[in-house]
Amino acid sequence: MKRSGQTEGRAREKFSFRSYISFYTRFPIPWWLFLISLLLGLVNTEVVLAASKYVIQINKGELYNGVIIGYALMTVLTSAISMGINICDEYGTQKVTYRARKLLWRKILHLPMGEVERRQPSSLISGVVNDITQASQVIHTIFATVSSVYGFARCCVEMAKFNARLSAYMLLLVPLAVGVFALVGRLQYRMMLRRYESLNTMTEFFSEHISAVKHVKAQAMEELEMEEGLRAIDERYKADLYYAFMEVLQIFSNTLYTTIGSVAIAIFGSDMIRKGQMPDTGINDFTTYKGKVDQYQAEILTHYQSLKGTQGAMQYVGVLLGGPEEDPEAGFELPENQGNADIVLERVSFGYIPQQPVLHDLSLTIPAGKVTAIIGSNGSGKSTLLKLLQGIYQPDSGRIRLGAAAADEVKPARLRRQFGYILQHNPLFSGSIRDNITYGVSGTVEDEAVFQAARLADADGFIRELPQGYDTDVGVGGSLLSGGQRQRVAIARTLLTDPRYLLMDEAGASLDHKSDMTIFRTVREHMKGRTVVVVAHDMRSVMDADYIIVLACGSLEAAGTHDELLRTSPTYRNYLELQGCALAGEEAVR
Amino acid sequence: MDSSAIFRKKYGSFRRFFLMLGKARLPYLWIAAYLAASVVIANVGVSSTEYSAALFAGNVGLTAVVLPYLFYQLLSLVLGSVSGLLANLCEARMDRNLRRMVWCKTVRLPLRFYETNNPKELLSRITTDISSISGLVMRVFLAVLTTAYSSFVILRKISSYDGALMWSLVAILPVNILISFIMGRLKFGVQDLINRRNAQLTAAIAERTNNLMLIKSMGAEEKEAAVGEGHMRASYRAAGMNIWITGLSLPISAIATALQTVVIILVGRGFYASGALELTQWIAYYGFAVQLTNILSAYCGYWTTFKQVQGSVDRVTEIMDERSEDLDTGEVMGSPAGGIRFEKVDFSFGGTPLFQGLDLDIPAGRITAVVGPSGSGKTTLLNLIDRLYPLAGGTIRVGGRDAADYSLASFRRALGYVTQESVMYAGTIRSNLLHGLGRTPSEEELDEACAAVGILDYVRRQPLGYDAPVGESGASLSGGQRQRFSVARALLKRPDCLLLDEATAAMDIDGKAGVWASIRTAMAGRTVVYVAHDAQTIANADYVVVLRDGRVEAAGEREHILSTNLYCREMMENGEEEN
Most distant CA pair in chain A: distance in Å? 124
Residue window 127-156, chain B: list those with CB within 8 Å of chain A: 127
Rounded Cα distance between A418 and A534, Å, is 16
String of DSSP letters for A110-144: TS-HHHHHHH-HHHHHHIIIIIHHHHHHHHHHHHH
What are B349's strand-pairing partners?
B352
Which ranges in A429-547 belong to alpha helices (H)? 433-437, 447-456, 460-465, 483-496, 513-526, 539-543
Interface of B with A in 532-571 (CB under 8 A): 533-536, 539, 570-571
Residue A6 neighbours by CB distance under 10 Å = 15
| Chain A residues closer than 8 Å to B57 by CB | 280-281, 284
pLDDT (0 to 100) of residue B404: 92
Q: Is the dihedral of CA B440, B441, B447, B451 positive or negative?
A: negative
Residue B4 has pLDDT above 60, yes or no: no
What is the CB neighbour count within 10 angstroms for residue B482? 21
| pLDDT of B527 over the 90 cut | yes
**CB pairs A-B closer than 8 Å:** 406
- Cβ A407 vs Cβ A391: under 8 Å: yes
- Residue numbers of B between 275 and 294 with CB closer than 8 Å to A: 279, 282-283, 286
Cβ distance of A211 and B217 shorter than 8 Å: no
Residues 75-114 of B with CB under 8 A from A: 76-77, 80-81, 84-85, 88-89, 91-93, 95-96, 99-100, 103-104, 106-108, 110-111, 114
- Beta-carbon separation of B577 and A508 below 8 A: yes
CA B429, B430, B431, B434: dihedral to nearest 10 degrees?
120
What pLDDT does residue A587 have? 43
Cα of A439 to nearest chain B Cα, Å: 8
Residue A50's pLDDT is what?
93
To the nearest whole angstrom, how far is the Cα of B8 from the nearest Cα of chain A?
33
Residue in chain A lying closest to B262 (CA): A68
Distance CA B449, CA B462 (A): 17
Which of the residue ranges A186-200, B94-108, B179-193, B275-289 would you say has the lowest mean pLDDT? B179-193
For residues B430-437, give the mean pLDDT.
90
β pairing state of B401-402 and B393-398: antiparallel
Q: How confident is the model at residue A19, as a pLDDT?
A: 64
Nearest residue in chain B measured CA to CA from A503: B217
Rama region for A372: left / alpha / beta (φ>0; ψ in -120 to 50; rest): beta
Contact check, Cβ <8 Å, A72/B259: yes
CA B229 – CA B513 distance, rounded (Å) = 51
Please tell me what DSSP assigns to residue B502: S
Does residue B352 contact residue B398 with C-beta atoms inside 8 Å? no
How many angstroms separate the CA of residue B1 from the nearest CA in chain A? 28
Question: Taking CA A134 as the corner, what is the angle to CA A132 and CA A138, rounded to the nearest 5 degrees?
Answer: 110
State whether residue B511 sits within 8 Å of chain A by CB.
Answer: yes
The answer to whether B91 contacts A233, with C-beta atoms less than 8 Å apart, is: no
The alpha-carbon gap from A141 to the nearest alpha carbon of chain B, in Å, equals 17
Please state the ipTM of this predicted complex.
0.83
**Which among B220, B225, B265 has CB closest to A105?**
B225
Q: How far away is chain B from the Cα of A455, in angstroms, using its nearest Cα?
A: 21
Residues B480, B444 contacting (CB under 8 angstroms)? no
Contact B455, B488 (CB under 8 A): yes
How far apart are alpha carbons A81 and A394 in whole angstroms?
Answer: 57
Query: Does B219 sit within 8 Å of A509, measured CB to CB?
Result: no
Is residue B521 scored above 80 in pLDDT?
Answer: yes
Angle (CA) B455-B460-B462 rounded to 5° is: 105
CB contact under 8 A, B421 and A517: no
Q: What is the pLDDT of residues B304-346, one digit of tens each?
A: 788 778 888 888 888 888 888 888 888 888 887 888 999 999 9
Of A109, A213, A251, the CB nearest to B221: A109
Disruptive mutation site among A537, A571, A574 for chain B (greatest number of B CBs within 10 Å): A537
Residue whose C-alpha is closest to residue B217's, from A421, A9, A394, A107? A421
Three-state secondary-structure class, residue B366:
coil
Number of helices (H) and strands (E) in chain A: give both, helices first: 22, 10
DSSP codes, A300-340 = HHHHHHHHHHHHHHHHHHHHHHHS----TT-SBPPPGGGGG
Separation CA A445–CA A443 (nearest Å): 7
- Checking if the pLDDT of B10 tops 80, the result is no
- Res A336: pLDDT: 65
- Residue A513 to residue B577: CA distance in whole angstroms: 5
Contact residues on chain A for B270, CB-CB shorter than 8 A = none
Out of A109, A412, A509, closest to residue B579 by CB: A509
Measured between beta carbons, the chain B residues lying within 8 angstroms of A427 are: 210-211, 214
Distances (CA, A) of B390 to A234, B69, B348, B381, B394: 34, 72, 10, 12, 11
B64 secondary structure, DSSP code: I
Paired with A406 in beta bridges are A401
A378 and B240: CB-CB below 8 Å? no
Between positions 435 and 454 of B, the ones with CB within 8 A of A are: 435-436
**Which is nearest to B34 in space by CA: B72, B102, B80, B75?**
B80
Are the C-beta atoms of residues A261 and A167 closer than 8 Å to each other?
A: no
- Cα separation, B43 vs A282, in Å, equals 27
Q: Give the closest-approach CA distance of B108 to chain A in angstroms.
A: 7
Q: What's chain B's average pLDDT?
A: 87
- Confidence label for B543 from pLDDT (cuts 50, 70 and 90): very high
A512–B373: do the CB atoms touch at under 8 Å? yes
Question: What's residue B445's pLDDT?
Answer: 94
A328:B221 CB<8 A? yes
Tell me, yes or no, if B194 comes closer than 8 A to chain A by beta carbon. Answer: no
Predicted confidence at residue B509, as pLDDT, reads: 85
Nearest to B240 by CA among A174, A348, A91, A106: A91
3-class SS of residue A210: helix
Please give the radius of gyration of chain A, using alpha carbons only, rounded to the nearest integer: 35
In B359-388, the residues whose Cβ lies within 8 Å of chain A are 373-375, 386, 388
CB-facing half-sphere around the CA of A48: CA atoms within 13 A: 23
pLDDT of residue A215: 87
Of B58, B198, B539, the CB nearest to A273: B58
Q: Does the structure show a pLDDT above 80 at B68?
A: yes
- Touching check for B344 and chain A: CB below 8 Å? no
Question: Distance (Å, rounded) from C-alpha B490 to C-alpha B475?
Answer: 20
Please report the sign of the dihedral spanned by the C-alpha atoms of residue A571, residue A577, residue A578, residue A580: positive
**What's residue A126's pLDDT?**
84
Type and span of the H or E element at B180 = helix B163-209
What is the rounded distance in angstroms from the CA atom of residue B301 to the CA atom of residue B307?
Answer: 10
**Bridge partners, A374 (sequence order):** A535, A549
**C-beta atoms of B60 and A497 within 8 A:** no
Q: Is B25 left (phi over 0), alpha (psi -120 to 50) or beta?
A: left
- Nearest-CA distance A67 → chain B (Å): 10
Euclidean distance between CA atoms A79 and B249, whole angstroms: 10
Q: How far is B425 from chain A (nearest CA, A)?
A: 7
Compare CB distances from B578 to A229, A247, A506 and report the shortest one's residue.
Answer: A506
Q: CA of B193, closest CA in chain A: separation in Å?
A: 16
* Cα separation, B418 vs B423, whole angstroms: 9
CA angle (A477 as vertex; A473, A481 as ends), nearest 5: 55
Per-residue pLDDT of chain A (590 residues; tens, 9 = 90+): 333 333 333 444 455 566 667 778 888 999 999 999 999 999 999 999 999 999 889 888 888 889 999 999 999 999 999 999 999 999 999 999 999 999 999 999 999 888 888 887 888 888 888 888 888 888 999 999 999 999 999 999 999 999 999 999 888 888 888 888 888 888 888 888 888 888 888 888 898 888 888 888 888 888 888 999 999 999 999 999 999 998 898 889 888 988 999 999 999 999 999 888 888 888 888 999 999 999 999 899 889 888 888 887 888 888 888 888 888 788 888 776 665 789 999 999 998 877 778 898 999 999 998 999 999 888 788 888 999 998 888 899 999 998 888 888 888 888 888 899 988 888 888 889 999 999 988 888 899 999 999 998 889 989 998 889 999 998 877 878 887 888 889 999 999 988 889 999 887 766 766 667 777 778 888 888 889 999 887 787 788 889 999 998 889 999 999 999 999 998 898 888 887 764 444 444 43
- Assess B513–A contact: CB distance below 8 Å, yes or no: yes
Q: How far is B7 from chain A (nearest CA, A)?
A: 34
Q: Tell me which of B63, B97, B113, B212 to substitute to probe the interface with A (most A C-beta atoms closer than 10 Å).
A: B212
% residues pLDDT > 90 (chain B)? 42
Q: Residue B97: pLDDT above 90? A: yes
Q: A282 to chain B: which residues are within 8 Å by CB?
A: 58
Beta strand pairing call for A555-560 and A547-552: antiparallel
Closest of B352, B370, B375, B374 to residue B360, by C-alpha: B370
Is-contact A581 B509, C-beta < 8 A?
no
B410, A220: Cβ pair inside 8 Å? yes
Cβ contact A204–B259 (<8 Å): no
Q: Judge whether B69 is closer than 8 Å to chain A, CB to CB.
A: yes
SS3 B445: helix
Choose among B422, B388, B386: nearest CA to B529: B386
CB B27 within 8 A of CB B97: yes
Which phi and psi angles does A210 have, rounded to 5°?
-70, -40
A23, A25, A30, A34: CA torsion to nearest 10: 70
**Over the stretch B397-429, which tens digit does the pLDDT of each residue have?**
998 899 999 999 999 988 999 988 888 888 899
**B1 — pLDDT class (breaks 50, 70, 90):** very low
C-alpha to C-alpha distance for B167 and B177, rounded to whole angstroms: 17
User: The whole model's pTM is what?
Assistant: 0.82
Minimum Cα–Cα distance from B258: chain A residue? A72
Task: Report the alpha-carbon distance of residue B65 to residue B340 in Å, rounded.
Answer: 90
Chain A hits for B388, Cβ within 8 Å: 214, 217-218
